[in-house]
Structure 1
C-alpha cells in the first residue's frame, strides 16, 4: 500500500462487456447500486450489463444480462444499437479492469425487477436498484457509471450516428 492508501500492485484484467440503458414508459432509468467490499462506504449506480460470454454476440449478451440481472425477457430485436462503444478503466480495491463496452437502449413498461439471476459476486456487492426519474438523476450527487449516461440515452434520437465512439475513460473507486 502506498502512502496515499492506493494499492501498489493489483491484478489487471481485460474483458468485453455490454451495458443496457433501460427506461420505462415515463422515461425513468433503471440503475443498480454497487459497492466495493474493500473500500467501506464506496458505492455507485450503474446500468444493467456485464461480460460477453464466449461465442455470444453483443446483442445476445445484452439480452442474457438483462434476463439475469433484472428478470426481463425480451427478444434481441427489441434492443436499439449498439448505440455507443467505449473503453473504460475501472480501478477497484482488489483489481483493475480494462473493459471494451457496447451500449444498447431499450424502453419497456415498468416492471418489478427480479434479481434471482444475480451471480454470487453481484449478491455480495449490489446493494439495491431504483428506477430514476431523469430530473432526479441529473440533480443527484451520487456517482453514476457511465458518467455520460444522459448523452448515451439521447442517442435514441440519432440512429444514423450509431455506434458513437466514446473513446477511453476511467471510472474508478481506487485510482489506477
Structure 2
C-alpha cells in the first residue's frame, strides 16, 4: 500500500520591471506532453521560516540574493498530491507537472508513494531584469530547470506554443492580481 509524505514548500512569483513573470520549464520525459512551466521554489527545511526558504530557493535556483523583507506574501497557497516512484519523480511532481510513475496509481501492489506538497507563494518585484543562473540547486542539472523564460501577461494568456502546461494551471487568470498588487488575506488557494 503506498505511503504519503507531506512536504512544505515555497514558490516565488518573480516579476521584473516590465511586468513579466519568471518561469522555469521541465519535462520529466515520462509522458508525451511537452512538460510544464513553474515558478522557482522548493522545500522548506526543518527550522526554516517560509520567507527564509523562499530567499534560499531563489538564490539556489536563480543566483539572486534577495532579503526576505523584500518579498510579499504568502499571496497564494497550493496543494499538489501526486504518486511518485522515486527521487526523480518526486522532483518532477513537486514542481507541479510530473505525475511520476502514474501508470501504477491505484494499484495496491504498487511500491509508489504519494507526495503531498503544500506550497506557499511569495511575490518578489525585481528592480531590474536579472540574469538567471542556478548556483546550488541539485535538481537543476537533472531536470533541465536551466530553461527559463520571462512571461508577459499577454504571453501567459496565449499559453505555451507546445503542449506544456502552467503550474498552477490558473496562472494566466491569476497573474493580473499580482501585477495590480491585490491579493487576499488569508492567501488564495489556487488549486493545481
TM-score (norm 2): 0.73
> Aligned ranges for residues 48-67 of structure 1 at < 5 Å?
48-67=40-59
- The equivalent residue for 1:68 is 60
The equivalent of 1:77 in structure 2 is 69
Unaligned runs of 5+ in 2: 84-98, 102-112
- 1:40 Cα deviation from its structure 2 partner: 5.2
Matches of 1:113 and 1:157, distance apart in 2: 24
Residues 83 and 152 of structure 1 are in contact (CA less than 8 Å); yes or no, is this contact kept in structure 2?
no
CA displacement, residues 5-38 of structure 1 (integer Å, 9 cap, x when unaligned): xxxx766432000011101000111100012243
Structure 1: 5+ residue stretches without partners: 1-8, 171-176
**Kept after mapping to 2: 8 A contact 1:17/1:100:** yes
Distance in 1 of aligned mates of 2:29 and 2:42: 19
Are the counterparts in 2 of residues 15 and 98 from structure 1 also a CA contact under 8 Å? yes
Q: Which residue of 1 aligns with 2:100?
A: 93
1:146 paired residue among 164, 168, 185: 168
**Aligned-residue RMSD, C-alpha:** 2.2
Alpha-carbon contact 1:14-1:97 (below 8 Å) kept: yes
Q: Which moved more, 1:108-117 or 1:46-55?
A: 108-117
Alignment of 1:1-176 (within 5 A): 12-39=4-31, 42-91=34-83, 92-94=99-101, 96-108=114-126, 109-119=128-138, 121-127=139-145, 128-141=147-160, 142-150=164-172, 151=174, 154-155=177-178, 157-159=181-183, 161-166=184-189, 169-170=191-192
More strand as a share of residues = 1
Counterpart Cα distance in 2 of 1:107 and 1:45: 19
Report the TM-score when normalising by structure 1.
0.79
Q: Distance in 1 between matches of 2:27 and 2:114?
A: 15
How far apart, CA to CA, are the structure 2 residues paired with 1:122 and 1:153? 28
Distance in 2, matches of 1:118 and 1:125, equals 11
Match of 2:90 in 1: none
By how many angstroms is 1:125 displaced?
1.1
